[in-house]
Amino acid sequence: MKLKALLLGLLCMAAGLCNAQSGKVEESEQTVNGMNRRGQQLTVQLDPAFVEKLWKNQLTEKAGKVKVKYTKGVYSLDGVVLDTIASTPMRIISTVASGPEGSQVWWSLDMGVAYVDKNATPKEYAAAEGFMMAFARKAYREDIFRQINQAEDVLKATKLEQDRVVKQANDIQAGIEKNKMRKQQLEAELVKNADELKQLEQNVQNNLKQQEASKLQVQEMEKAVEAVRAKLLQVK
């Protein structure tokens, strides 16, 4: 029952995912470390811990030699170049949180002379939005792979359980056959035992008759001996 419930849950999750494999990017402001910053916010309907792990890996991969710093829930990168967005080094501030519509990935891109802004830097904003949407698609794909692995684990466990149940059934049937054979052996032994008992009882009766006959013979011999002795006494 536990395996069936887990499999059903995975199938439901997969079905729900098919209806929600899209990310939403919108311009958003956040106060980070006491400073109000304008940036972009991506919303995906995935687990926040899963999304944050992927996002950290994404930043680390794209940052190259630039170190990704993490302090009190805030990721920061200084002097990083994301050539798909801008050729100039940028300072990136980013957070990952959970919202009413799912996981929220927010970042602010500081190009030094200006922030990436929908109105002020539309080209860079569109490129950053594309970066976010590409990450969303990657996150959904990774989540699907994760669910496939979980489903395969469930399938493997189910097959093992099926093999165990089949083996158990075979063992039970073998036990039944063994019991039947033992029953037949015992029944044969009981018949043999009854025949042996009957023969022993017959032997007892024959022995009693032999004892009686032997007793009569002894008595006859005693009479014969007495007769001979009597004749001996008559000889003078």
Q: What is the pLDDT of residue 130?
A: 95
What residue segments make up the domains of the chain, in order of their start? 2-150
Mean pLDDT (whole number) for 39-43: 95
User: Which residues 6+ apart lie within 8 Å of 37 measured at CB?
Assistant: 29, 30, 31, 93, 108, 115
Closest CA to 6 of 161, 166, 167: 161
The reported pLDDT for the residue numbered 68 is 93
Separation between Cα atoms, residue 80 and residue 91, nearest integer Å = 7
The model's pTM = 0.65
Of 3.40.30, 3.30.310, 1.10.3470, 3.30.1560, the CATH number of 2-150 is: 3.30.310
Q: What is the pLDDT confidence band of residue 9, given thresholds at 50, 70 and 90?
A: low
Which tens digit of pLDDT belongs to each residue from 52-72? 999 999 999 998 888 999 999
| pLDDT for the residue 171 | 93
Annotate 27-82 with DSSP letters as a single string.
EEEEEETTEEEEEEEEEESS-HHHHHHHHHHHHHHHHTTSPPEEETTEEEEEEE--
Q: What is the pLDDT of residues 196-214, one digit of tens each?
A: 888 888 888 988 888 888 8
What is the rounded average pLDDT of the residues 177-198? 91
Q: Give per-residue pLDDT as tens, 217-236.
A: 888 888 888 887 788 777 76
Residue-wise DSSP of 122-145 = HHHHHHHHHHHHHHHHHHHHHHHH
The string of pLDDT tens digits covering residues 102-135 is 899 999 999 988 889 999 899 999 999 999 999 9
